[in-house]
Amino acid sequence: MPLSISPARVWREREPRYRLVGKRCKKCGAIIYPPRPACPHCGSRDLEDVELPRTGTVETYTIIYTVMDGFRHKAPLPIAIVRLDNGLDNGARVLAPLTDIDPEEIKTGMRVEAVLRRIKQDGEHGLIAYGVAFRPVLSEPRK
Amino acid sequence: MTRVYVAGVGMTKIGRHFDKGFLDLTAESAFKAIDDAGGIEPEAIVVTNMMSSRLNEQDSLGAYIAAGLGFRGKPAFKVEAACGSGGAGVYNAYLMVRSGLFNAVLVVGVEKMTDYPTSTVTAALAQAADAEYELFYGASFTGLNALMMRYYMEKHGVTRDEMSEWPVMMHSNAVSNPYAQFRRKITKEDVAKSQVVADPIRLLDSSPIGDGSAAVLLVSEELAKKMPNKPDVYIAGAWMAVDTVELTNRESLDRIPAARIAAEKAYKMAGLEPKDIDVIEIHDAFTVNGIMLLEELGFAPYGKAAKLLNEGRFHPGDRPTANPSGGLKARGHPVGTTGVYQVAEVAMQLRGDFPGLRVDGAEAGLTTNMGGDGSSLSVHILRKT
């Protein structure tokens, strides 16, 4: 089976994808995820790396029934945009699959936390690409 | 400054053209447009298309189509902006004529989608999104629009039933359009009962997969004056704006700010306001796109478009009439050429010879073509002289 996952391509995204490293704009304060070379809000190039919190709230979600090639075994596939917790700043958003949950139980506003999950693989014995998925936070310590 | 006239238009019916390839489809629309303009020979050709590379294994598309249609030796190139390719191509041709360097530029769009299984087309369409942070996770294009649709409906308290008015109106408008892919009416119940593609988007919220080609021939004022039948429709305003391809870096998930920016610029160029527009052809690849664009283009207050639609606004007889062609939903959406269809349709509305539902006495029209889920927006405002 031909290799469809490029090791270099997966490797170079490791910081943002596994550790949720985004950017903070030093000019306007925006948190950017995925990271970009310039701030999408003010255009500044003066950015710094910031590791984002791994908990957040589902801002919106979908359950995909007509999946793309390569995702058939995951259908129906729940995908969410999660607004991460972030102290004083506006939290960044992350798009990722939801995992460890029955699609029927997904709700806007639910609390979730990031975990590492297998996203796709090259056949049974090939390369595996990992990424973040969010699962429900079952209990949170009182703040 | 020179005006840019729409001197000729041509379209193919949208559908499953098993017997036609890129050259058959483009020959039909391009030659129609040229003949419609009295046989004017284009000096340059802009080809618009999204997926030829991924689906049809054909690059060099500018040369392939231009040379194939008999235009060897002329400038030609492909313009790609995902589903917004057509509008982006018209915008490029407009700039070429407006610059004074060209007197006649042919824009010919084409997309050939029906040769492949749905999952393959779905994966190709998804390339409109961010490859590493959306596509990677299996977020299909429908899925991304579904994220926006749910957010919009929950934030503004819009019901499933209210949203369904859009596809119902589109199917009704398309009945008399000979170029439309679907020419049958549907009901809100049909929409609510149709298959869920990516919740909350159902099959009847979604534009279909289809093949098609549309062409427009743009000419300078100088050339227009010399034509025996001087064209009477010109592009009064045109602009394009982009936004982040990835949804997560935008300020809000229920807005399409690039549409607002492009529209404001185009209105200013044309010296018109939303109230002056008689007919619009806007991008409704999914129901939520049409609803949100009505708001961004200044035709409805924020969060209110679906409500107004259900009160009868934007229907035939009202101004502006939205998508008398049937829109992407029912006229069809051969993705990379849709924006060219829109300009051709509005030009015909203003000329008074659109062969489907007509907006009588229309003097000004607007088109909006969108690439990605709001990342490449072009707006064209057409006027009658």
> Which residue, B244, B181, B156, is CA-closest to A41?
B244
Q: How confident is the model at residue A141 (pLDDT cuts 50, 70, 90)?
A: low
Cβ of residue B340 closer than 8 Å to a chain A Cβ: no
Residue of A59, A63, A69 lying closest to B199 (CB–CB):
A63
Write out the DSSP string of B290-347. Answer: HHHHHHHTTSS-TT-HHHHHHTTTTSTTSSSEE-TT-HHHHT---GGGHHHHHHHHHH
A40 CB near a chain B CB, below 8 Å?
A: yes
- What the block records as the tokens of B133 is 């942070």
Structure tokens at B121: 């087309």
Q: Does B134 touch chain A (CB under 8 A)?
A: yes
For chain A, counts of helices (H) and of strands (E): 2, 8
- Mutation site for A-interface testing, chosen from B136, B144, B250 by largest number of A Cβ within 10 Å: B136
> pLDDT tens for residues B19-50?
999 999 999 999 999 999 999 999 999 999 99
What is the token pair recorded at B341?
Answer: 């269809």
The answer, yes or no, to whether the previous bond of A76 is cis (omega within 30 of 0) is: yes
**Quick one: average pLDDT of A116-123?**
89
Which among B140, B148, B246 has CB closest to A68? B140
Distance CA B233, CA B39 (A): 17
Nearest 5°: phi and psi at B208? -85, 170
Per-residue pLDDT tens for A25-71?
Answer: 999 999 999 999 999 999 999 999 999 999 999 999 999 999 987 88
Q: Which pLDDT does position B305 carry in this prediction? A: 98
Contact B380, B367 (CB under 8 A): yes
* Residues B359, B381: Cα–Cα separation, whole Å: 16
Give per-residue pLDDT as tens, A85-114: 976 456 799 999 999 999 999 999 999 999
Q: What are phi and psi of B70, to 5 degrees?
A: 95, 15
Q: Which one-letter DSSP state was computed for residue B132?
A: T
Reduced to 3 states, what is the DSSP secondary structure of residue B130?
coil
What is the predicted pLDDT for the residue at B41? Answer: 97
pLDDT in the model for residue A124: 78
B116 touches chain A (CB under 8 A): no
Using a CB–CB cutoff of 8 Å, tell me whether A117 touches chain B.
no
* pTM of this structure: 0.97
B286 in Cβ contact with B198 (< 8 Å): no
- C-alpha to C-alpha distances, B313 to B50, B78, B172, B323, nearest whole angstrom: 33, 37, 15, 12
Q: What pLDDT does B2 receive? A: 83
pLDDT, tens digit (0-9, with 9 covering 90-100), for B347-383: 999 999 999 999 999 999 999 999 999 999 999 999 9
What are the 10-residue block averages of pLDDT along chain B, 385 residues in total?
93 98 98 98 98 97 98 98 98 98 98 93 94 95 97 98 98 98 98 97 98 98 96 98 97 97 98 98 98 98 98 98 98 98 99 98 98 97 97
Residues of A in contact with B194 (CB under 8 A): none
Token output for B195? 């298959």
Note the pLDDT of residue A143: 52
Give pLDDT, residue B25. Answer: 98
Name the token pair of B177: 């359009």
Residue A3: predicted pLDDT: 63
Contacts of A38 (CB under 8 A, 6+ apart): A44, A45, A47
Residue A83 has pLDDT above 50, yes or no: yes
Residues 119-138, chain A, touching B (beta carbon < 8 A): 119-120, 129, 131
Residues B378/B89, Cβ–Cβ less than 8 Å: no
Please name which of B299, B262, B266, B277 lies closest in space to residue B346, comparing C-alpha atoms. Answer: B277
Contacts 24+ apart (CB under 8 A), A137-140: A137/A55, A137/A111, A137/A112, A137/A113, A140/A55, A140/A111
How big is chain B, counted in residues?
Answer: 385
Residue of A nearest to B127 (CA): A68
Would the CB atoms of A34 and B137 count as touching at under 8 Å? no
Going by pLDDT thresholds of 50, 70 and 90, the confidence category of residue A1 is very low
